[in-house]
Chain A
Amino acid sequence: MIGPKHSTFKRILPQLLILAAALAINLVVFPDFFDIDFRNGRLFGNLIDVLNRAAPVAILCVGMTLVIATRGIDLSVGAVMAIAGATSAAVVVEGHGWVTALLAGLGAGALCGLWNGILVAVLKIQPIVATLVLMVAGRGVAQLITEGKILTFSNEGLIHLGAGVVAGVPTPILIWMALGALVIFVVRRTALGMLIEAIGINERSSRLAGINSRVLLVCVYLVSGLCAALAGVIVAADIKGADANNAGLWLELDAILAVVIGGNSLLGGRFSILASLIGALIIQSVNSVILLSGMPPEFNLVIKALLILAILVIQSPRISYLMYMLRASGPQPQPDTAPLPKTQKEEAQ
């Protein structure tokens, strides 16, 4: 019982430390960072903001982690967000309810995921190229749905998904946490996680072992599409409108970054969704530092890049190896120094 839990903690420890450091920097630039108020039935505070604003990337990185675990990548998630947001907006503007709108958005995302999955798994197109198609075409599709304008809506139910509050907590926070917990549960309590890892490490061996790699691959892209759609609906709901041009713009890169900061290899294989989620929080904390420090906005992207670079350097194989050697050099001498005096004594006799 202690074994697996302990190893999960060990796995996410570097991410937790980085997150703690990022939050500490926030505290330095903004001493009231950890203050949380409860006003008008809602929690307020910078920490809540970080959790709330992290929602789109956190949701994206759940699907992205699975895709990357299969040695793939999904560049289209930003565009799929735009498509799903546009679809949901168009449905409520037509006068349907928010549930129908949400399902329509998710359906659009599922179709996009299926498309990617078929290109990758059936036609064997390289994932980066296959999903690039939808990354480029997707915004066009979204514009067709919104007919080129920003489609605004006032459906309370739909808006609630992005800007509402449940039991004092902003809805997006609850959504991404629930989604993360659900996917982690499904992946680790069934054999899905192991099979996905097997495909990512050695697809040929996996296929020969009887794993239905084609179906699994399609499913993984489908899940990524669904996650993107959910994120897209939340973003649209937050601004009460679907912006085909800007919704989810460049977020695929943040999602990939979150997975990488989460210590997951782009070469596929072993993965941790929890670590990716912490990665998403790290990215949002970095954004928060820039926001709170009051630097001129021109610096934002450069500072973000520098902070991310620092994180990646800390996690680079070379540095981790050095850390490992430093740690290993402590207990290491014991086994080889201990027997040595003994043999000398024996020889002396």
Chain B
Amino acid sequence: MTHDTGPVLHAKGISKFFPGTIALDEVDLRLEPGEVHALLGENGAGKSTLIKCLTGAYQRDNGTIHLDGQEVSPQSTADSQRMGIGTVYQEVNLLPNLTVAENLYLGRQPMRWGLMARRRMNAMARESLAGYGLDIDPAEPLTAYSVAIQQVVAIARAVEMSGKVLILDEPTASLDRDEVQLLFSVIRQLRDRGLAVVFITHFLDQVFEISDRATILRNGRVVGTRVLADVSQKDVVTLMLGRQLESQVHDRKPAKAGETLIEVENLGKRGMLDPLSLALREGEVVGLAGLLGSGRTETANLIFGAVPADQGRILLRGKEIPVSTPREAVKHRFALCPEDRKTEGIVGDLSVRDNIILARQASQGWMRPIPRAEVNEIAERYVKALDIRLASLDMPIRLLSGGNQQKALLARWLATNPDFLILDEPTRGIDVGAHAEIIALIEQLRSDGMALLVASSELEELVAYSTRVIVLRDRKQVRELSGAEITPENIVHAIAEHGTPAEEGAR
């Protein structure tokens, strides 16, 4: 009864077809009790499809699922929850305007004389969350707490309702380092209680830190299941990509002596960003480093006019230009790939083709439609150049995987021939392969003479491509690093140190 009880969940030969594609091809997944099992693969490898088949969000076309030895066939997510498979998604799907306790017990509130027993519910919630090492007031609205705590509440809810298998779909994507640790301690605790935890993420370090085994998918097939203690990160990446990832050589060329293109002088907005100054030359990549909420995104938005600044000015080739709307920015050949692809980037129901052409068409005005042949030429050129994987240019962009959406958005802006490209977290939530391609692209655009401003939370990445790095802390510019100074250690040091006055930006 202790071991050799067999897997908690055993999926065999799961297949799923979509019109024109085989999303899953005879996939097997075996989850033992008390293990953290990572599900790995590039975007589009079939991870989400597999999860959706397991939870009943999709109906599989072939294959069997055994839960505790019993064959099951969940018809909906509610169904799978009842059977014991709980899922927590990256975007916490709780109700932000309800209290923590209400979220935890929604639909199964303790009742008393036909009314909700609020006090008892709060007590139960407090006790339940204490089990996860959280000491918070469950009567507070959910939004009073950080995303990490909301994440734990979502997990607690899923575990209480299901309790056999817990699927975590990119739970750490929007968490900082400490929050990730909080989450991991919760996961370990659940593992020790005998749950099977499925962990999906793009962060390989985290996979190796928390997971016992990993199943790797590629193009809808399982390419291997590995005990992680026996393999290296490189082995896993090789399996995911199906090829050896050439180790990136960081030969950072000194910035070419391009003309100064953009000067930002004391640009700021009250309550959002303290006045900030920077200058960019052609053929230069300036990195924006800082913790979450340090003002990276705000800087990008103010320069692009997505949020109008209330002080400071922007000079283009020495001449002051007004940039209070994105439209004006685009007119001056600025471009911004925003951090939040879904809500600020893609236009989901429009075709990939329309999405790629959108910014260029908008800047030409509606009266001068780009001829269809030219539209196709542009779209096809970028699909090829950026290796965007799609079934057809006519498919809605929302159906593309994250990495391909990001590339399509890059294509949208490259199609406008920008002089100045702002990238906000260009590699967030995309797979290793696309990650390397985007970094290579940044390098190439730089050597072609474009000026780039790149905000990123991945220091290694910033170090790889930046010619200078501006460090932000608490919505303030605190340090500028250049040349050999640019190392992850120095950036961390600049983020961490207190009270040092900012080295005045523009050079």
**A contacts, CB < 8 Å to B:** 189-192, 194-195, 197-198, 201-202, 204-212, 216, 269-270, 328, 332, 335-336
Contact = CB atoms under 8 A, between A and B. Distances in A.
A205 B345 contact: yes
A191 B357 CA distance: 11
A195 B346 CA distance: 13
A201 B361 contact: no
8 contacts: A191-B366, A195-B361, A202-B343, A202-B348, A205-B347, A209-B358, A210-B359, A270-B349
Contacts of B489: none
Given A190-B369, A198-B347, A211-B358, 20 more contacts: A191-B361, A195-B366, A201-B347, A205-B343, A206-B362, A207-B325, A207-B326, A207-B327, A208-B304, A208-B326, A208-B345, A209-B347, A210-B330, A210-B362, A211-B327, A211-B362, A212-B362, A270-B350, A332-B17, A336-B61
B385 interface: no
Contact of A194 (B348, B354, B412): B354
A207 B338 CA distance: 12
Contacts of A198: 347, 350, 354, 358
Name the 5 nearest CB pairs between A and B, nearest first: A210-B330, A210-B362, A191-B369, A211-B362, A209-B359
B338 A208 contact: yes
Nearest to B343: A204
A328 B347 CA distance: 27
B366 A197 contact: no
Interface string B302-328: 001010000000000000000001110
A201 B412 contact: no
A322 to B, nearest CB: 14
Contact of B327 (A191, A212, A332): A212
A208 B336 contact: yes
B345 A195 contact: no
A194 B365 CA distance: 12
A202 B22 CA distance: 30
B501 interface: no
A340 to B, nearest CB: 10
Contacts of A212: 327, 362
Nearest to B413: A209
A202 B346 contact: yes
A262 B365 CA distance: 28
A335 B20 CA distance: 9
A269 B330 CA distance: 24
B1 interface: no
Contacts of A205: 343-347
Interface in B178-222: none
B19 interface: yes
A332 B20 CA distance: 10
B257 interface: no
B444 interface: no
Contacts of A197: 347, 349-350, 354
B369 A209 contact: no
A286 to B, nearest CB: 30
B367 interface: yes
Nearest to A202: B347
Contacts of B93: none
A189 B61 CA distance: 42
